[in-house]
Structure 1
Amino acid sequence: MELLTAKDLSLQNEGYFAFKHVTFSLYQNEIAYILGDNGSGKTQFLDTLASLKSPDSGKLEIAPKARFGYLPQIDPEIITKPVKKYLRDIQKLSGDLAVRDSQLKELITYMGMAPYLDRSVRQLSLGLKQRVGFLAAVVGHPNILLLDEPFSFQNSEIITNMLDIIKDLRDNNSGVVIASTVQDDSVVNYFDSNYLLKDNKLTKITDRNMSVHYMLIFTVTKKTMALPGDISRYLSVNIDNLIELKVPMKIKDSIIKEMLELNYNFEGARVLEN
């Protein structure tokens, strides 16, 4: 069953397209992953799916009785309530469809937030605020969950726990959209469909490891060693102290690790498309 469908959606901001002519559907029992660089339009696309922004053209169809949960990349709201009260208030607003008290307690513990229940949300670190936002998004047991950069500022254990919660929602007939920049390859198997948002266009990726490449950017240090043959074949740019390597997604993490061992400074990565 389709939970939401975007048909030929376009959105402009100050004369520039955030995205254009996008067609996209989210189904029950689906986790859709949208990959894109910073500034590629992912946030504005999720805002449009959540009906927080109106598209300039196209149509958005949402299933009846849809219940949204949304974790924005940056929440503009300043929350002065303690964590426990804030989550309880959201639980109450969600009514009978919300998770039970015992489930909320389990979720809080699973996300490592039990020690912070009496702390004001505004006083928390960015990573902890992100966890509170994630819990707030799932506490109403949504059937449409939109997550913008949910894994930022989190360690591998918390990311795994978040994915387990997301998968549980998926297995109980929800649809989930996750938008993110570079993400660890170990999470790929959690996703049912993969998309690339680039140059204002959303493209479905059928073989993610083969279709997506990264340009890895490094700078040289005084202790840098020469590139071995297995890495030099990916060399795209070698100018002064700048090294750029074009690599397939499936070996991205191993190449970064090897380059660090060769004493190169890792400066970042950007998504490419074949």
Structure 2
Amino acid sequence: MKLISVNDLSLQNEGYFAFKHVAFSISQNEIISISGDNGSGKTQLLEILTDNRMADGGTIEYTPGVRIGYLPQNDPQIIEATVGKYLENIRLLSKKLAVRKDQLKEMITFMGLSPYLDRSVQQLSWGIRRRVGFLAAVAGHPNVLLLDEPFAFQSSSIIKNMLTLIQDLKENGSGIILAGTEFDERINQCIDKSFLLKDNNLSLASSIEEEPNQEVALIFRVNPNSIAITPDLEKYIVSNINNLIEMKTPVALRNTIVKRMVQLNYQFEGDKEIES
């Protein structure tokens, strides 16, 4: 079941596009990654998903009952409470949906935070504060978890434990989005679908890495004001059912065709992997 669907999302910063025509979804029991260079728009995209920023165009559909846990790249909060008190307060906010108190205690030990329970969060090093923020995002047992650069400044053993908790959430029906500059092979093995945010566009990373003649499936929704598709685009259509148009196009033409279809008032719904 899809938990969040992003359709034709665009954001401008001071007249320039941070990204445009972004479309993807996150489902239950799924981990996806969004990678890209610093400044490519990953953080802003997650901020929009958490309703901390407004997009300039497009829509986001949330399945009723979605609860989001979020680890921002830079948390502006000044947290004077101790680690133990802060995490317990976060747990209590989610009431019966959160992990149990004894489970939280085990997670604190698992993440190597027991020595810091009585210290103010604000007094901790940046890397340890990130661990606290990660547990705060997980403690409410969200069904959507958004993590922005979660593994930065963490040891190999801590990353392994973070991945264990992330996998546990996935197996219990959550969807997880990992955003980062790049991910190593150990992390990639846990990811079900990888996206690359580059040159203002979000594409399946597998498509970017394929040969130039590789094809990709694009999905568009027909709007009431959609204009008739021109013959040069029509040749790429493989199905048109229930107001959803699927087009099979060369990877090299993806962005051009998305732009043309949007100009004809069709809503871009995202890429679809072509089964071999």
Q: Trace 1:28-107 onto structure 2 (pairs within 5 A).
A: 28-107=28-107
Deviation at 1:206, TM superposition (A): 2.8
One-letter amino acid of the structure 2 residue matched with residue 148 of structure 1:
D
Q: Which position in structure 2 is the counterpart of 1:162? A: 162
Q: % of aligned pairs identical?
A: 58
Deviation at 1:207, TM superposition (A): 6.6
Deviation at 1:16, TM superposition (A): 1.8
Q: Which position in structure 2 is the counterpart of 1:9? A: 9
Q: How many residues align?
A: 211
Q: In 2, distance between residues paired with 1:155 and 1:15?
A: 40
Deviation at 1:49, TM superposition (A): 1.1
Deviation at 1:211, TM superposition (A): 4.8
1:66-90: CA deviations, max 9, x gaps? 1110000000011000000000111
Q: Which position in structure 2 is the counterpart of 1:177? A: 177
Mean Cα deviation higher: 175-184 or 1-10: 175-184
One-letter amino acid of the structure 2 residue matched with residue 2 of structure 1:
K
Provide the alpha-carbon RMSD of the alignment: 1.3
Deviation at 1:186, TM superposition (A): 2.1
Mean Cα deviation higher: 91-100 or 49-58: 49-58
**SS, match of residue 105 in structure 1:** helix
Deviation at 1:188, TM superposition (A): 1.0
Q: In 2, distance between residues paired with 1:182 and 1:98?
A: 31
Q: In 1, distance between residues paired with 2:111 and 2:210?
A: 33
Q: In 2, distance between residues paired with 1:166 and 1:206?
A: 23
The answer to whether residue 193 in structure 2 is matched with residue 197 in structure 1 is: no
1:198-228: CA deviations, max 9, x gaps? 01110012378x559xxxxxxxxxxxxxxxx
Q: In 2, distance between residues paired with 1:211 and 1:128?
A: 39
Q: Which position in structure 2 is the counterpart of 1:239? A: none
Deviation at 1:183, TM superposition (A): 2.3
Deviation at 1:118, TM superposition (A): 0.3
Q: In 2, distance between residues paired with 1:71 and 1:182?
A: 17
Q: Trace 1:218-229 onto structure 2 (pairs within 5 A).
A: none
Q: What is the TM-score with the length of structure 1 in the denominator?
A: 0.75
Runs of 5+ in structure 2 lacking a partner?
Answer: 212-276
Q: Which position in structure 1 is the counterpart of 2:227? A: none
Q: In 2, distance between residues paired with 1:135 and 1:211?
A: 37
One-letter amino acid of the structure 2 residue matched with residue 102 of structure 1:
D
Runs of 5+ in structure 1 lacking a partner?
Answer: 213-274
Q: Which position in structure 2 is the counterpart of 1:128? A: 128
One-letter amino acid of the structure 1 residue matched with residue 30 of structure 2:
E
Q: Which position in structure 1 is the counterpart of 2:139? A: 139
Q: Which segments of structure 1 move beyond 2 Å, counting only runs of 4 or more?
A: 205-208
1:161-219: CA deviations, max 9, x gaps? 001100000010000000001222222110000000001110012378x559xxxxxxx
One-letter amino acid of the structure 2 residue matched with residue 65 of structure 1:
G
Q: Which position in structure 2 is the counterpart of 1:233? A: none
